[in-house]
Chain A
Amino acid sequence: MRAPNQGQPITSRQLEEWLEQALVPVEPSPRFSQHLRARLVEVQGQGPVNWWMGVVGLVAIFLVMAAWLGMALRIAFALLGVLGLMNRARPAASRAHATQLARQAGP
């Protein structure tokens, strides 16, 4: 049905007929519908995290922390070793002087 020209009176019946022709059901594309459904069902199907996944997560965190702790201990021991080496590397003279002073002081 051709719509009446603008400026001419339009009856309710004519308007309803015009709306019937213009407002018709539109189909979404099948690809969109199927893809969206698959995505929604997949998200829904994932569900809450399983308990064993939680355990695996905790173990992984523990291992990482242990690795970092081990690294920290190794660094600390290395520093202690370096300090020990530095002590040993002091000149023998300074050690002899220290011994003489100790003898003069007497028992």
Chain B
Amino acid sequence: MSEANSDELALVRRAATDPDAFGELYERHVRRIYNYIYYRTGDHHDAEDLTARVFQRALRHVGTFQDKGVPFTAWLYRIAHNLVANWHRDRSRRPVLPLEDHLAASAISSHPETLALAEEEGELLLVAVRRLPAERQQLLILKFVEHLSNAEIGNIMGRSEGAIKSLYHRTLASLRDELVGPAGVPPQAVKDDELHDRSEDERA
């Protein structure tokens, strides 16, 4: 076990009875949990509410956490995943609210029309991401928001590095299918590098 992992494990054990230790755990993980929930729900208020519930539940059960090779982060993500799934189930009959204005930090240009177009396209992509299965959404969030490696993502999701890589390629393919539109793209219109990616998928 790495030093960082053993340090975190010691902190988790103390957190069961020491408020400051739990506070430290909270500071380490609140942003990643918030990001995960925000991109799964698309709303800041819901993200805050669910993030609070994640840590309240973690506080109640931190004393029962056991190191079975699964890091504490993965345990938190599992709690978040379950709460988001319940949230989606409870809202399944309500219309999906549009995403709030949050996009890339750097605008392409300051021209209002360009900004508006970029926002619309960004929303299009995020809506497509949210249509993916929960597992694939988590993969994209961990890869692009948290900038984790395939090995680290595999550690959190309980999969091998190779499985994560394969899942990633399939996820990109699914996302591409979502974005291209109902008419799809004729096979002959597929570009060479896309063909190369698909052959990698088949080998994986």
B180 close to A25 (CB less than 8 A): no
Q: Is the interface of B mostly helix, strand, loop or mixed?
A: helix
B193 to A, closest residue via Cβ: A11
Tell whether, in the assembled complex, residue B191 and residue A9 are in contact, meaning their CB atoms are under 8 Å apart.
yes
**Interface 0/1 of A1-36, CB less than 8 Å to B:** 111001111111101101111111111110011001
Cβ–Cβ contact A45 & B19, under 8 A: yes
Residues of A within 8 A of B141 (CB): 23
Cβ proximity bits A36-80 to B, threshold 8 Å, 1 near / 0 not: 110111111101000000000000000000000000000000000
A-B pairs with CB below 8 Å: how many? 121
- Interface size of B by Cβ–Cβ distance < 8 Å? 55
Shortest C-beta distance, B29 to chain A (Å), equals 12
Q: Closest A residue to B20 by CB, please name it.
A: A41
Contacting pair B108 A2 (CB below 8 A)? yes
Determine the chain B residues whose CB is within 8 A of the CB of A25 once the complex forms. 31, 35, 145-146
State whether the Cβ of B38 lies closer than 8 Å to any Cβ in chain A. yes
User: A19 contacts which of B20, B103, B140 (Cβ < 8 Å)?
Assistant: B140
Q: In angstroms, how far is the closest chain B Cβ from the Cβ of A87?
A: 66
Mask, B90-110, CB within 8 Å of A = 1, is: 000000000000111100100
Residues of A near B104 (CB, < 8 A) are: 21-22, 24
